[in-house]
Structure 1
Amino acid sequence: MTTQPVTKLPPTGEQPITTDLEGWKVVSGKPTMKTWILNTSSDGRMISGVWEATPGTYHATYDKYEFVHLIAGKITITPDGGQPVHVAAGDAFAVEAGFKGQWVIEEKVRKHFAIRVA
């Protein structure tokens, strides 16, 4: 099988996943999320795409590493027992596997993500 070395991704796919991600529980408000998985690497070890969420608070548990580039919005991310990290449009950050903590979505957010799944 031949793989294209560069794949240009569309802004979003046609059918987002609209259920809350595994490990994400609403803590306050009525936030909603949409996830578009736009690419899976040829070896199946990485996925990338776009995620959107409306204001509210989630408690998130990560079992995989994620790289994020925040396109729009503001979030305060606080690891359980840790210090808050404030991120806003234009910021890039990484979340390590094993993270547990709150994501307070202060303004509607849109992010690009890349997750190591295997």
Structure 2
Amino acid sequence: MTGFSATRFEASAIDWPDDVAIAAERVIAGSPTASTFAIEATSAHQVGLWRVTPGEFLTDHTGYTEYIHVLAGAGRLIDDGGAVLDLGPGVTVLMQPGWKGRWVVHATITKVYTVINA
């Protein structure tokens, strides 16, 4: 096929940026840290890989949609209404703009993500 171009990324082979602590005002439990490997980022969207260590912290998707696919790890997403979604390898999630809740990470989670800004 002419004109086809692709780049392959493997989470285990990536030179991950240094972990950064989740902002203290968001942390509920533990000392979670995260690393983001952005593959592409524009003002309209971002695509990449993200990993986060165990802990519990708040998240607020005001102004953007996020699609994730979990590659490794274990945990759950809990929305502000109390609905629970267990996370593990192979789980795919779409969080609409305005989704609010928290991450509970039991074992370091690595995900592929796409963020689309509203």
Q: Moved runs in structure 1, 4+ residues, more than 3 A?
A: 4-7, 9-15, 17-22
How does the TM-score come out when normalised to structure 1?
A: 0.79
1:20, distance to aligned residue in structure 2 (A): 5.0
1:110, distance to aligned residue in structure 2 (A): 0.3
* SS of aligned partner of 2:78: strand
1:65, distance to aligned residue in structure 2 (A): 0.4
Distance (whole Å) between structure 1 residues aligned to residue 21 and residue 65 of structure 2: 18
Deviation per CA, 1:57-98, whole angstroms, max 9, x where unpaired? 011111210000100011211111231111211111111111
Which of the pair is proportionally richer in helix? 2
* SS of aligned partner of 1:10: coil
Task: Give the match for residue 97 of structure 2.
Answer: 97
Q: How does 1:40-59 map to 2 (within 5 A)?
A: 40=41, 44-59=43-58
CA-atom RMSD, angstroms? 2.5
C-alpha contact 1:9 1:39 (8 A) present in aligned 2: no
Q: How does 1:1-118 map to 2 (within 5 A)?
A: 6-11=5-10, 14=15, 16=17, 18-20=19-21, 25-40=26-41, 44-63=43-62, 64-118=64-118
Q: Which runs of 5+ in 1 are unaligned?
A: none
Q: Which runs of 5+ in 2 are unaligned?
A: none
* SS of aligned partner of 1:65: strand
How does the TM-score come out when normalised to structure 2?
A: 0.79
Distance (whole Å) between structure 1 residues aligned to residue 19 and residue 84 of structure 2: 27
Distance (whole Å) between structure 1 residues aligned to residue 73 and residue 16 of structure 2: 22
* SS of aligned partner of 1:51: strand
How many equivalent pairs are there? 112
